[in-house]
């Protein structure tokens, strides 16, 4: 009887040891996987962040110039072509951002992480991605609203000139990439 009890105790100790060893191996593999993912995403996020900063700098410069050059709505027809070129430039930068961030979207959106570093990368990516896209949508909606106002003034013979076309883009809807109901960067209420 004593031998049976000792055998059961030894088996239990071995089983607990094996489970503990397996758990430690799994934990180490998960940590290694998280470290590798963090390194990969950090590199990709750094590149993304540089593009976002470039977009923001270009946008700020463009909006400042636009504000200085366009004091009156009547001036819109004189500045129209340069404004459209400015928006096309911003859209080109935004296209590059969206194209280069596909891998980040695949690896970050809809995922849950335990690592604080990965959670921070995910949070920063979501915020910056939504902001650049939504800032551009805001800008285009505002510009097109100004076009509508200008065209109404032409129609009502308040000013002379020809009607202007609205800026056409694929970026017409505000972005909520993580479907949380918050649209970072959205300023215009629809």
Decide if 182 is inside a domain. Answer: no
Decide if 78 is inside a domain. Answer: yes
Decide if 136 is inside a domain. Answer: yes
Decide if 108 is inside a domain. Answer: yes
- Residue 139: is it exposed, middle or buried by C-beta count within 10 angstroms (0-12/13-18/19+)? buried
Concatenated DSSP letters of 159-172: S-S---PPPP-S--
Decide if 139 is inside a domain. Answer: yes
Decide if 104 is inside a domain. Answer: yes
Residue 179 has pLDDT above 90, yes or no: no
> What confidence score (pLDDT) does residue 123 get?
96
Decide if 7 is inside a domain. Answer: no
Tokens matching residue 188 = 């215009």
Plot region of 185 (φ>0 → left; ψ -120 to 50 → alpha; else → beta): left
Residue 25 has pLDDT above 50, yes or no: no
Predicted TM-score of the model (pTM): 0.81
Decide if 112 is inside a domain. Answer: yes
pLDDT in tens, 90-115: 999 999 999 999 999 999 999 999 89
Q: How many domains does the chain have?
A: 1
> What confidence score (pLDDT) does residue 182 get?
87
Alpha-carbon gap, residue 24 to 32, rounded angstroms: 12
| Residue-number span of the structural domain to which 108 is assigned | 48-155
């Amino acid at each position: 009887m004593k031998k049976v009890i000792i055998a059961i105790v030894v088996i239990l100790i071995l089983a607990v040891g094996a489970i503990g060893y397996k758990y430690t191996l799994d934990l180490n593999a998960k940590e290694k996987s998280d470290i590798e993912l963090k390194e990969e995403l950090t590199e990709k996020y750094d590149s993304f962040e540089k593009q976002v900063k470039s977009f923001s700098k270009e946008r700020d410069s463009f909006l400042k110039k636009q504000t200085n050059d366009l004091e009156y709505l009547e001036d819109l027809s004189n500045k129209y072509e340069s404004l459209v070129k400015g928006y096309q430039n911003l859209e080109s930068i935004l296209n590059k951002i969206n194209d280069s961030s596909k891998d980040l979207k695949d690896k970050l959106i809809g995922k849950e992480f335990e690592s604080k570093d990965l959670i921070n990368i995910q949070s920063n990516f979501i915020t910056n991605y939504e902001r650049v896209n939504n800032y551009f949508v805001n800008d285009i909606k505002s510009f097109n609203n100004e076009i509508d106002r200008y065209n109404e003034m032409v129609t009502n013979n308040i000013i002379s000139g020809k009607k202007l076309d609205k800026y056409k883009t694929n970026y017409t809807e505000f972005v909520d990439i993580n479907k949380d109901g918050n649209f970072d960067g959205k300023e215009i209420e629809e």
